Chain A
Amino acid sequence: MNEEKYLDERFGNENPFRVPEHYFDEFPQRIMKRIAQKKRRRKMIRWGIAAMMTGIVFSSAFVMNNFRQQNTALESENNQYIEDALDYSMINNMEIATYLTEAD
């Protein structure tokens, strides 16, 4: 190929670029350091996620427990309310039973 020959004769294929001194001696250390940092960061993120999940589980359990306690309190409050209403109406259980049998 004539054009290829022209390029070869005019420029050759020597490398005109250079690198800073010791570049290739130091590069592997730099890259392994970055990898170690990445591994550390990954581990920290994993721990962070695990801690967050544990937090979510514990706070959900706490909220559920509170909710249950509140419901029990509300239930007993309601029962008390009915008993109070019956007391206030001055009707006792005997009277209610009599009323119900007489209605038949």
Chain B
Amino acid sequence: MINEARIITQLKDESQKEAAFSTLVHEYQEVLYWQIRRLVLSHDDADDILQNTFIKAWMALDDFRAESKISTWLFRIAINESLNFLEKKKKNTDIVSNAIEGLTNQLMSDPYFDGDETQALLQKAIALLPEKQKVVFNLKYFQEMKYEDMSEMLGTSIGALKASYHHAVKKITDFFQQND
């Protein structure tokens, strides 16, 4: 665990900035990667987005006012980058439903996906959710993140997050009941 106050001081000092940022990358790369990967599914896309997240953070370091935790700030950049990526992908894909239809096969042939067909189907059911529900479901179900932390990160009330999660769980369950 890094010392937030110390790392912020180092980040503001030009002579220590690069070393401090490298510490941040080491500390948060994995947790951010998994957050991104669960949203975009492919490793290559997750890798691109993770790089963009850190590059954007580096470029915006002077604007970081330490009003939120560094981790919250980085999570926010990562989520925004992932959602922008999904939005662009949606615009570039003529028939979105076809892309989601092929998702199970795509995952099963992905060398970096170890799950079985049921796991691939779960990913497909998650991919069908609206973006916000997708984010909330992944954070709660897989990462077991507290609603309080999620609220700070996403700027959404705890009540709205609970409702989003409830809707997401209901939709995924319905998806399987229809497909079983």
Contacts and interface: CB of A to CB of B under 8 A. Distances in A.
Interface string A1-43: 1011011001101011111100110011011101100100000
Interface residues of A, number: 24
Secondary structure of the B side of the interface? helix
Most-contacted residue by chain B among A1, A6, A17, A28 (CB, 10 A)? A17
Contacts of B50: 27
A24 B26 CA distance: 8
Given A7-B141, A16-B115, A19-B112, A31 B55 contact: yes
Given A1-B169, A3-B169, A31 B51 contact: yes
B22 A20 contact: no
A27 B113 CA distance: 20
A15 B141 contact: no
Interface residues of B, number: 38
B76 interface: no
B147 to A, nearest CB: 14
Interface stretch (B29-37, B64-72, B83-91): B29-37
B25 A28 contact: yes
Interface string A57-72: 0000000000000000
Contacts of A19: 33, 43, 112
B170 interface: yes
Nearest to B121: A11
Given A11-B119, A31-B25, 4 more contacts: A3-B172, A13-B142, A19-B112, A27-B25
Nearest 9 pairs between A and B by C-beta? Answer: A16-B115, A3-B173, A16-B119, A28-B25, A18-B112, A3-B169, A31-B54, A11-B122, A13-B142
Interface of A: 1, 3-4, 6-7, 10-11, 13, 15-20, 23-24, 27-28, 30-32, 34-35, 38
21 contacts: A3-B169, A3-B173, A4-B169, A7-B141, A7-B169, A11-B122, A16-B114, A16-B115, A17-B112, A18-B112, A18-B113, A18-B114, A19-B33, A24-B29, A27-B25, A30-B51, A31-B25, A31-B51, A31-B54, A35-B55, A38-B59
